[in-house]
Amino acid sequence: MQDHPHIVTFVGALAEERLRGSRAATLNGITRRGFYLRLDSQWIVFVSLDAFRGPLTINVRGQAQSWSSLSAGSPVEIHPARIVLPSIDLVIDYGGAPVWQAPPASGEILPAAQRRASLTRAAQALLTVKSDSPLGNLLPELLGWQTTAWDSTNPYRRHLEHLRDALQNQRVPQLVQACEPLLGLGRGLTPSGDDLILGMLLALSRWGDRLAPGWKPAAICQRILPLAYRKTTTLAANLIECAGRGQADERLLLALDGILTGAATATECAAYLAGWGSSSGLDALVGMTLVI
């Protein structure tokens, strides 16, 4: 068999850790720019041709023509620092590749009024290119630039109100209770409700000491995770767990930090979020908004 190596540019810290403890995997899904591996440890690792890094992402350079013949469920061999897909003679050797994890939050956050204006501009820019999410479409009312009543038929409206109340009252049991019906609510590998929770937890874990003193994101995440692994997809639960540790795709980090510190323009923040999934970036912004 002739192996065809791909050059690994980065490996996410959690991907490297979970692969180290695994011996086998199956192909869980294929996209235009990569594929998902489901490890025997019940974690999902994404092998991606994109440049943006993430805690569960292995970034590679190479040709993807042979990937079109992959099919979900195909066996994958896991060796020390190597992933082998026998069906297409593909070897991914990540030994020696730089390990990436989210850098600590840095910089001074903007005053509250400027922060709100920065958030509003980013949301408006994002909604010009992403408007197909019932959850994301609540942003104008949530941020107050539309004065019409919320759409009472929107399935996320009531849950969003409960989350907002719980965050304002700083009540962990109420917050967990408000999160539970959102888990698994929506379509796709990462339903909208899960993306919202991810965005909320990421904002709390990364900037909570300055935005919401008194909250303990790790304790919140510990309460939510058993529910997530029971109610939603493995990938969504994995990403929620990462967010509770302050780890996420760097597009989310760049957008969140850019909104809070002014380090990126509204257009740049919107572009980062628009590039993360179909509507996932928009839905995650709703969760961030509840904290910001």
Predicted pLDDT of residue 214: 84
Phi-psi region of 21 (alpha: psi -120 to 50; beta: other; left: phi over 0): alpha
- 161-211 pLDDT, tens digit per residue, is 999 999 999 889 999 999 999 999 999 899 999 999 999 999 999 999 999
- 215-260 pLDDT, tens digit per residue, is 889 899 999 999 999 999 999 999 999 999 999 999 999 999 999 9
Predicted pLDDT of residue 5: 59
Encode burial over 89-100: b for 16+ CB neighbours within 10 A, e otherwise. Answer: ebbbbbeebeeb
* Sequence-distant (≥ 6) Cβ neighbours of residue 175 within 8 angstroms: 163, 166, 167, 220
Percent of the chain with pLDDT over 70: 97
Burial classification of residue 59, based on how many CB atoms lie within 10 Å of its CB (0-12 exposed, 13-18 middle, 19 or more buried): buried
Q: State the pTM of this model.
A: 0.95
Q: Do you know the residue count of the chain?
A: 292
- 23-78 pLDDT, tens digit per residue, is 899 999 888 889 999 999 999 999 999 999 999 999 999 877 778 788 899 889 99
Residues 120-136: what's their mean pLDDT?
Answer: 95
